[in-house]
Amino acid sequence: MIDTGRGIPKEHIERVIEDFYMVDKSRSRQNGGSGIGLSLCNKIIELHGSKLNIESEENIGTKVYFDLNIKLK
């Protein structure tokens, strides 16, 4: 997923996968956010043996991605 939104400040990037963590609490609540989305995604990706990668620059946007290793028969 790539967006061109506000971006995430560097000091918050590692924390956005924590349960209920929100960078901007007032803005997230106004838009119906709960801070659980990336946390759930991260847990699902970890169950598949991968890692959620987050790259972000303030005022430019955020990129969230992961790799899955799938064994084909």
Q: pTM of the prediction?
A: 0.76
Distance between CA atoms of residues 46 and 66, nearest Å = 10
Helix (H, G, I), strand (E, B) or coil at 17: coil
Reported as a single tens digit per residue, the pLDDT across 3-57 is 888 899 999 999 999 998 888 765 555 666 677 889 999 999 999 999 999 999 9
Distance between CA atoms of residues 27 and 73, nearest Å = 47
Q: Over 90: is that where the pLDDT of 60 sits? A: yes
